[in-house]
Structures are given as C-alpha cells and as structure tokens.
Structure 1
C-alpha cells in the first residue's frame, strides 16, 4: 500500500470525509487499507487508474486514463521525494520500522517545497519509487520460511559475550543484510559441520602413531 500510505496515515488519526458523502477510515484489523461506504470507489476499466485527491479536508476519487500521466511530472515527483527521503536517512540509522514515517515526512517536505507536486495525476508511488518498505519484508519472509522448513527450532540466550565480539558480529551481520541472530546461527552451523570434534576422530588410543615397519633392505649408515 505504498501508493496510499499518506492517506492511510491521515485516516489512521481520524476518518477522512468524502466529497460524495460518508467517511473513509483504515481497516479494522490494522491492515494497510482504506475502507469506505458502498460505492465510494467508481468503476474503472482495466488499465485505468484511480486518483485520490484530498483538498479542503474532503477526499474525492476520480478515474483517469494512463495517457494523462506525464513522464516529466513523474520524474519531478520521484526526484523531490527521493531527495528528502535520502536526506533524512543520511542523518539517521535505517530501520525498517521507521521507513513508513520517513517516507510520509518526505512527502510532507516535498509538498512544502512544491505545493502543486501531487495535484496532477502521477504514476502510483509503488511503481514510481523503489518499494523499500516491503523489499526487506519479502526477503525476511523467505528466510523465515526456510528456517521453519529446517525442522524444530530452539531459543536460547548468550550471557557474558565480550562487547567487542558482539559489535563485530553485528557489523558482519549488517554487511550481509542479516539480523544478528540469523548470522550467529549461520556461523555456528558452519563451525559445527566444518570442524572435527573429539567424537569424530575416534577414541584417544587411535591417536598414538603405529610403530614403523622394518625395512626390507639393510640400513646404510654414514661414517
């Protein structure tokens, strides 16, 4: 729902009044969706776009053909929003939970810079911008599914880890785009399957080397 995120954020604070009558609010169970009275969305043919305009405190919905979208306008919107979004991320650590708020603020800053930025129809934001909000979700969902398919899992804590070691593990996990716990599991799994343990090399008696066998020919000594 990247395209509707600004309106979802507004509707999450208070219902939005429709110009045609009634109100639009967010989904009851926390889904990122807008819910309105029956018939609040007009019929649209395949390939057409629904444009939502919030003006004067009233929300209106219009049907537009894709031909009305200007490439120059799309380029301008993309440039303004990405500039403000990247500027904020430059001064703050990138966290998935903070991305929706950061993008909404970028849209607000963009409208302050250019009040008419979104007055004309543009390509939906989820197509216009890189979908950074859900890209990590898709990757995490795939990793979680693979972890569950591996069999039963256990949870445990580690106490007494040196701070320097924790910092280094966290740095390496971030380098590979992994959470710390996943990277630690990967490292321990690699260590367990790649390193021979005592039970893998047999009883200690087998560690004693065998005596050398006698030579078939006389040994020659230097004098």
Structure 2
C-alpha cells in the first residue's frame, strides 16, 4: 500500500507535536487533528472532512487528567469515532501510542490506557500499538503539580524516554509496509537505562530551585507493581537515548 496522507489525532499535544515534526521532516502529507484545528475526536466535529483521502491515522490524543473513569470514557469515545469515521473514509489502519506495562494495570490512568488498547484492537480497522515508557517531560509535570519549593516524588524505577524518540518509532511503525508477525509481542520503546523517578526529578528540581524528596509512592495506583519493575520495558523493547540527564542538558 502506498501511504500518501497521514492524519494525526492529538497533533498539538505533547507527543503529537513531535509526530508532526517527524512526518514533516520526512516530507509526508499531514492532516493535523485537534480541537485547535477544528477537529474533535470526541464529538466527531470535523472528523469526516479531516479523514477524507487519509491512508493512516496516528492516534496520540490523550486525556488531560489521571482520573480513571473520565479517562476511560475519553478513550472509549475516541477509539469508537476513529474506527467509525476512519472505516467510512477508507483508512487502511490506525497506529496508536500506549504505555509499557498497561497489561498489568488495575487502576488510574494506566488502567484507562489498558482499556484504550482493548477498545482499539476490537474495532474494524487494523491497529498497530507502540508501548512507550514515561516521557522525560513527565518529570516536569510531577513538579508542576506541586506547590512550593519542596516536591515529593515517588522513588520508583522507570526507564524515561524522550518524546521525540517515541515519535520517530511510532511513525516508523505506522508507515511500515510489512505486517506484524502473528503472535508477536506489542513493540516497546524506552530510554537507554533504568532510572529512579525521584532522582530524575531532583536533577530538574535543582534547576528550578525545588528540593525533591523521594517517597515510596504508596498513594499512587499500582505503586507496588511499579516498585517491582512491572512498568519497565521487556526484553524485546527497543532502547534509545538520550538519558534524562542528557535530554535535560538540551532544554532551555
């Protein structure tokens, strides 16, 4: 199949901006889809028009908060609409970003993403999924959510990865002309080494004048699973730089 036109759902989001950049650099024809461009994957407004002539949808649209029920409803509706409108438009497939370890999740945002995968895979269009580790940018979010000059961050293992790295891998997956081997594991992308979330946050906190204190994360959903490495990449994962410290050194 010759792929000439790619729609990006969530094109103005944290990951979506990088996906658009990668596609632009590769001289692909892009349809950026977000409410800012007049396309709403939840209400369906502008979706039929946006998908006209599109070959592949890259789905990186996400919910803005961690509450499980609301996030699940967002993903349920977006998955249904992308399949429905995509099938009518003759789209060949959907490629979507997910999170490493969602298969083990029982609560919170990760459980919502687990449902998202299931909903996408049960639809009429072929779906390719890329599971990624937490983004480098997530560390800044953790600090942003707290007030004052002291932040409490879970001292949990992670393998932080750059958004740009994920975007490149997701575009490769979306545009790959081959078909995944039957029974092949869902591909994963993660950073080059295991890190401790609180330690990464301390590096950023030092820049911001914020003291970071590591905590056990007991208040987080599935913290015990995380502490045991349940959300670290599997042996088949692709590992790619930069490390968090290297990435931080490139940020203004």
Q: TM-score, normalised by structure 1?
A: 0.26
The structure with the larger Rg is 1
User: Which of structures 1 and 2 has the larger relative contact order (alpha carbons within 8 angstroms, sep 6+)?
Assistant: 2
More helix by share: 1
More strand by share: 2
Q: TM-score, normalised by structure 2?
A: 0.24
